[in-house]
Amino acid sequence: MAIPLAERMRPRTLDDYIGQEHLVGKNGVLRRMLETKRVSSFILWGPPGVGKTTLAQIFATTLHSAFYTLSAVSSGVKEVREVIEQAKKSRFFDSPTPILFIDEIHRFSKSQQDSLLAAVEQGVVTLIGATTENPSFEVIRPLLSRCQVYVLKSLSNEDLLELLQRVLSKDSYLKDRKIYVKETDALVRYSGGDARKLLNIVDLIVSSSPEGDPIEFTNEIVTRELQQNPQAYDKNGEMHYDIISAFIKSIRGSDPDAALYWLARMVASGEDPKFIARRLIISAAEDIGLANPNALLLANAAFDAVQKIGWPEGRIPLAEATVYLATSPKSNSAYLGIGKALGLVEQTGNLPVPLHLRNAPTQLMDDLGYGADYKYAHDYPGHFVKQQYMPDQLRQTQVWESQDNPAEAKLRERMTRLWGKDKETK
């Protein structure tokens, strides 16, 4: 069993591939590409363990193309140019265009991505990139414009159970073992939509059982084995999402010690610093919010600093922002407010804007009363005057509710002083 289960079970054709029906199903765009053999460069964007690398390999195998792979973590401009030269030399008269697969393309620097442009434009290689990050933020515009982006989804519970059944019935080693699957809730939950995690968990349970003994899968057994071997199902860094979750929850829970620890775990594992910085910005807006609006400013400044100074010094502004956010008072009133507002929009549809709030760029609109009776707040004492701003059907609806912290207490006092409790004119 020298070859890991995840590698033994890697699909070789689209018919063996599980999940991503919207891309590889009967009318899926990737299936049509393979069937017509008209393949253009594309980027696969999705969480770990959903089959990005596998899809690239299936394309190369099906098309009988030369297949080159680069990891953005360990490759520089020199390696990119060397691979492109090899691809040029591998081209013959009517041979398929070589495929260049770049894992974690979001970690490529601008200069590395620039070095790919000419080869992609001239058709020297067909580029297939894989990323867990939004390509709009991480891939330079000229390269992105030459690639289609296809979004891969986490595997559904049904997909994971189908994979489990296939593994137990078709793997050359496991099909001969006496394996009894009694419960799958824990197995599916810990897999989290990640095929590789599921296969690694299966590997762990099997390897912890004596050769020849029956093997049982129950919720209790899976949970116990993972607690005893927390890294065993995460051999290639798939704790990415678990650790960022622990990081954000530690900030939300006002524990700077834990937040710094999880930050250190990400720094030590080579996590993309911009990924961390973006999550700090989200946390500042979602979890600290109006309780300390400066948190968003500091988080955004940390993001800018990381971009300017790079690594490893970038860890310092990230640490500063982490401690500041963790020790700040917390509020999610803005987060809840926009959620409530979106719910109202979904329930009520496109309610008309009150006439006095409408713009009147034409005489007809002016004649119809657009903008009539609007009160210009700056013309009134304190730059405030009571008037209706909500649609008629929602005139008494309160969307934002302040929370119990000093900053929002001041905002609440001001709103009460201005509006009182009278919603009729709001």
3-state helix, strand, coil in the chain (%, to 5): 55, 5, 40
The conformation of residue 355, written as its DSSP 8-state character, comes to: G
pLDDT exceeds 50 at position 236: no
Whether the CB-CB separation of 290 and 408 falls below 8 Å is answered with yes
Looking at 163-172, 281-290, 363-372, which range is the least confident one?
Answer: 363-372
Task: Give the domains, in start order, of the chain with CATH numbers.
Answer: 20-151 (3.40.50.300), 157-228 (1.10.8.60), 240-327 (1.20.272.10), 349-419 (1.10.3710)
Q: State the average pLDDT over residues 69-90.
A: 81
In this predicted structure, what is the pLDDT of residue 422? Answer: 54
Compute φ and ψ for 97, nearest 5 degrees: -65, 130
pLDDT exceeds 60 at position 234: no
What does the alpha-carbon distance between residue 57 and residue 178 come to, in Å, rounded to a whole number?
A: 32
Q: What is the mean pLDDT of the chain?
A: 84
Q: State the average pLDDT over residues 403-416.
A: 86
Secondary structure element (H or E) that encloses residue 150, with its range? strand 148-151
pLDDT exceeds 50 at position 216: yes
Whether the CB-CB separation of 50 and 154 falls below 8 Å is answered with yes
What does the alpha-carbon distance between residue 197 and residue 202 come to, in Å, rounded to a whole number?
A: 9
Looking at 9-23, 61-75, 401-415, which range is the least confident one?
Answer: 61-75
Looking at 106-115, 222-231, 360-369, which range is the least confident one?
Answer: 360-369
In this predicted structure, what is the pLDDT of residue 271? Answer: 76
Placement of tokens 């008209």 in the chain: 38
In this predicted structure, what is the pLDDT of residue 71? Answer: 77
In this predicted structure, what is the pLDDT of residue 411? Answer: 86
Of the pLDDT bands very low, low, confident and very high (cuts 50, 70, 90), residue 93 is: low
What's the pTM? Answer: 0.58
pLDDT exceeds 80 at position 312: no
Cis-peptide, bond into residue 11, ω within 30° of zero? no
